[in-house]
Chains A and B, each alone.
Chain A
Amino acid sequence: MHLATERLTARYHGRPAITAVSMSIHPRAITAVIGPSGCGKSTFLRCLNRMHELSDGGTVEGRVLLDGSDIYGPAVDAVEVRRRVGMVFQRPTPFPTMSIHDNVAAGLRVNGVPRRRIGEIVERSLAQAALWDEVKDRLHGSAMALSGGQQQRLCIARALATEPEVLLMDEPASALDPIATQRVEELMVTLKRNYTIVVVTHNLQQAARVSDHTGFFYLGDLVEFDETARMFTNPSDSRTEAYITGRFG
């Protein structure tokens, strides 16, 4: 699934958070978005599934092409876009009143998936998120009883259940301990076989470990976008170099 942005500008109450970002995201690969706090990387991510416009004062200009068609086109329903582009947030957000099973099924019901297919999809999604073995005996127990790392994998399973074409992850491991982080990273690498993944991260080592391409944002501009290996060994922009060598940020 090919995803690209063309001169994408996002504003909060008229003040730009990202300016004229053009980026072509490779299908079935992991693209990392890095940069110091406030550089606009989360805003960029939230433009890719039309979540930014829900923020207070959030407006978007430019185009985001999903398989060639603009998701900001006049006839496009934002709700429909969000079903095609899944999202995982920084903090795990299981629905507290729902069981583990119902959490994964939450996006299915709303999409009108027939009841008899839900069980099998829940199992498949939990298996994809490497959580099935840990929860298969307590599917109807509370999702809040899971550990933070398990909750995050549950949220990944929930996002996968609706079979999105793209998976957006906003610092998916920053609230997790190192072992849980490792599991999520392994999971991402497995998932890229089937999904196009865009991940925002503060953790440069994580970007270097898991991603195929990296974009560096600074003050709302996409400074550099390249293959991760080249970016981390031989960046072409001096600001990129300064950031990845830890001179600022």
Chain B
Amino acid sequence: MSQARTRRRVVSTTMTALVGVLSGLAVLPLVLIFGYLVLKGASSLNLEFFVGNPVPAGQAGGGVAHAIAGSAIIVGLAALIGLPVGIGAGIFLAEYGSGRLGWTVRFVADVLNGTPSIIIGIFAWTWIVRPQGHFSGLAGALALAVILVPLVARTTEEMVRLVPHALREAALALGYPRWRTSLTIVVRTALAGIVTGGLVGVARVAGETAPLLFTALGNLNFSTHVNEPMQALPLQIYVYATGPFQEWHRLAWAASLVLILLVFGLALVARRVAVNRYGAR
């Protein structure tokens, strides 16, 4: 009797310790990455870094204002195009996607989700950049939107599916037409989750580099013209980190820190939104 209790206690303690260590391992990479970035990059974060533009190679100083602005424009456009399409597709999948069409859309979204982003970049180059004859921020935004749509569609679908069936029936029994039930009751109930999914998706594409190499290309100057090559933070990091100058490496570390802080910020906002108006969920 007491032997069995001792055994239970030993097993319980071991298992608790084990899952504790495993969760520690899971968060360790983030802690290490973030810590190292702060160590290497924080000292370079000054006003000039944020408002200055690049200086000729080899010279000290300069900033990445052009990359920050470019990233904001490209990712903003991608969100503007990708979020409505993705959320709309997700609602369709959850509410009306039980048939063949739903199955097909779901399958295509899953395959697209698993497609390496560099391939999407190559296709954006083939279909947008080459016919147009020049690289552009818009082409970059479209490539990112293509990555964003299936991501957001699937998270939206999951969130809408979580809404209890009883709530739909209650609305229908009140004389709500089906489309209105979907939009005003179901989507409103799932809204916090949908917004969270959208923000997480945007944070994810904000860090994409490969598709931008083939589309936005990069730009040494500050540019807000979406029809011209545009710089973006991940591109800037790629160029600076692989370049030969010490000064560039320093800026690459700082830019990496800024990028991860942006993603952090988006994730934090997403968490705040997830607590909906009345604190449910």
Contact = CB atoms under 8 A, between A and B. Distances in A.
Nearest to B173: A87
Contact of A49 (B173, B188, B278): B173
Contact of A95 (B175, B185, B279): B185
B169 A82 contact: no
Given A95-B185, A144-B278, A110 B174 contact: yes
Interface residues of B, number: 23
Main secondary structure of the interface of B (DSSP, over half): helix
Interface in A51-109: 51, 54, 79-80, 82-83, 86-87, 89, 91, 93, 95-97, 106-107
Interface in B160-188: 164, 166-167, 169-177, 180, 184-185, 188
Q: Which residue, A89, A96, A106, has most C-beta atoms of chain B within 10 A? A: A96
A162 B173 CA distance: 11
A: contact size bracket: 20 to 34
Contacts of A91: 166
Given A95-B185, A97-B191, A97-B278, A79 B169 contact: no
A95 B173 contact: no
A80 B175 CA distance: 6
A162 B276 contact: no
Given A79-B177, A142-B278, A144-B280, A95 B172 contact: no
Nearest to B276: A97
B273 to A, nearest CB: 13
Contact of B280 (A79, A93, A96): A96
Interface in B177-204: 177, 180, 184-185, 188-189, 191
Contacts of B100: none
A155 interface: yes
Interface centre among B184, B276, B278, B279, by most A CB within 10 Å?
B278
Interface in B127-175: 164, 166-167, 169-175
B189 A95 contact: yes
Nearest to A85: B173
Contact of A110 (B166, B167, B175, B277): B175
Nearest to B175: A83
Interface string B206-224: 0000000000000000000
Contacts of B180: 110
A106 B173 contact: no
A111 interface: yes
Contacts of B276: 96-97
B174 A162 contact: yes
Contact of A93 (B170, B188, B279): B170
Interface string A125-148: 000000000000000001011000
A51 B169 contact: yes
A106 B174 contact: yes
A197 interface: no
B278 to A, nearest CB: 4
Nearest to A51: B173
Nearest to B167: A93
Given A93-B166, A95-B167, A95-B185, A82 B278 contact: no
B166 A111 contact: no
Interface string B254-281: 0000000000000000000000111110
Contacts of B174: 82-83, 86, 106-107, 110, 158-159, 162
Contact of B171 (A86, A106, A142, A145): A106
A96 B187 CA distance: 12
Contacts of B176: 79, 107, 110
* Chain A to chain B: the 3 pairs with minimum beta-carbon distance, closest first: A83-B175, A142-B278, A107-B174
Interface of A: 49, 51, 54, 79-80, 82-83, 86-87, 89, 91, 93, 95-97, 106-107, 110-111, 142, 144-145, 155, 158-159, 162
5 contacts: A79-B176, A86-B173, A89-B169, A95-B185, A110-B175
